[in-house]
Chain A
């Protein structure tokens, strides 16, 4: 496919993702405001962390009274999948100067990865402008503007629980969790994480409980033999990115990219 046609497709896919990112960013803004984040604090998260699941989780950590070191460790673990996206994109962007790759890295999300690698594979080479379209137009701008709108509107509501808005956070966490189910190991990890989280919270407080669930759940999931795990989206692949991306994002945006392991990326010609 020629680059102009592929960029047109990229714009179309980005528009679909942008709508979902805006809606989801708005919900994040509401949840952050419900947890007493100020607009500056909520926006700092969206601008500096810029990772939806980790930002939602941070709302829960703060409400649960989790100490900052715990928040930071869990954030690092939750966002470590970006290592594999970055590795998969590296061969396509190796011609760009280091300062530009360093800038591109901050905007690397599940959505940006899936959109841009699909575009690169269609045209058979890297495309700097394509990456920025995928990273900025699809997610960064709508996510941040919607966060601002959500946190501003959330501040106008005197009693969010009367409107049922207090259920937004746990429902979003549960929904995102369902979206990450790509095999039986994830189901076991989630079930054990939830159970351990609640039991330990009742004994030692919610901050400790969340960390215990988040750390022990994966260990339990790893006990499921690989032969019966039925894993259909290994981490670091476009299929995995689709699961982590905003639930409801158009599937077509992720279908342009072939599934491949990021630790053995296909080299551009």
Chain B
């Protein structure tokens, strides 16, 4: 059983812990310039959007990235729509999985 990523988990935990602990242990240390707060506020949406888009729009074959169009796009769009409408991630995930599985079962994708 692979344990290669355990070290990565340790390092990710190590860079997360200071932001959780420093103000609790040394109050006042968290004062940040306004622009830094603005930037940090936007990191989440940008990273998650990049991950989602790259995951469904870029396929790597033999080390060469290529633009990909597939049923996964529709699954992700449905997930986005349901999340926007119902504010519940699980509805979107369930709909996306069912749609993609059904399309593949029927040979449409």
Asked whether B8 lies within 8 Å of A222 as measured between CB atoms, the reply is no
Q: Nearest residue in B to A108 (C-beta to C-beta)?
A: B20
- Other than the given A47-B9, A86-B30, A198-B50, 20 more pairs (CB < 8 A) read A37-B5, A38-B3, A40-B3, A41-B2, A45-B5, A80-B19, A164-B101, A166-B72, A173-B49, A175-B93, A185-B42, A193-B50, A197-B54, A198-B54, A201-B54, A218-B43, A234-B37, A247-B83, A263-B31, A263-B32
A191 and B49 contact, Cβ closer than 8 Å, known pairs A72-B15, A202-B66 = yes
Asked whether A222 lies within 8 Å of B35 as measured between CB atoms, the reply is yes
Q: Which of B78-109 contact A (CB under 8 A)?
A: 79-80, 82-84, 87-90, 92-93, 96-102, 104
Q: Contact string, B9-38, partner A, CB cutoff 8 A, digits 1/0?
A: 111110111011111110100111001011
Name the residue in B3, B9, B50, B90 with the highest tally of chain A Cβ atoms < 10 Å from its Cβ: B50
- Interface, chain A (partner B; CB < 8 A): 23-24, 27, 36-41, 44-45, 47-51, 53-54, 56-58, 60-64, 68, 71-72, 74-87, 89-91, 93-94, 98, 101-102, 104-106, 108, 161-182, 185-187, 189-198, 201-203, 205-206, 209-210, 212-219, 221-222, 231, 234-236, 240, 244, 246-248, 262-263
Asked whether B25 lies within 8 Å of A105 as measured between CB atoms, the reply is yes
A173 and B3 contact, Cβ closer than 8 Å, known pairs A49-B13, A91-B27, A101-B24 = no
Asked whether A221 lies within 8 Å of B54 as measured between CB atoms, the reply is no
- Complex contacts, B90 vs chain A, CB 8 Å: 23-24, 27, 248
Q: Nearest residue in A to B48 (C-beta to C-beta)?
A: A177
- Nearest Cβ distance between residue A31 and chain B, in whole angstroms? 10
- Interface, chain B (partner A; CB < 8 A): 1-6, 8-13, 15-17, 19-25, 27, 30-32, 35, 37-58, 60, 65-67, 72, 75-76, 79-80, 82-84, 87-90, 92-93, 96-102, 104
Ranked nearest first, the 7 interchain pairs of A and B with the lowest CB-CB distance are A217-B46, A213-B50, A197-B50, A193-B46, A164-B101, A218-B42, A105-B21
- Nearest Cβ distance between residue A65 and chain B, in whole angstroms? 8
- Complex contacts, A172 vs chain B, CB 8 Å: 79, 89, 93
Q: Is the interface of B mostly helix, strand, loop or mixed?
A: helix
- Nearest Cβ distance between residue A26 and chain B, in whole angstroms? 10
Asked whether A41 lies within 8 Å of B47 as measured between CB atoms, the reply is no
- Complex contacts, B56 vs chain A, CB 8 Å: 167, 170
- Complex contacts, A76 vs chain B, CB 8 Å: 15-16, 19
Q: What CA separation (Å) do A24 and B94 show in the bound complex?
A: 12
Name the residue in A23, A164, A248 with the highest tally of chain B Cβ atoms < 10 Å from its Cβ: A164
- Nearest Cβ distance between residue B62 and chain A, in whole angstroms? 13
Q: What CA separation (Å) do A189 and B47 show in the bound complex?
A: 9
Asked whether B10 lies within 8 Å of A48 as measured between CB atoms, the reply is yes
Asked whether A222 lies within 8 Å of B42 as measured between CB atoms, the reply is yes
- Complex contacts, B55 vs chain A, CB 8 Å: 60, 63-64, 169-170, 173
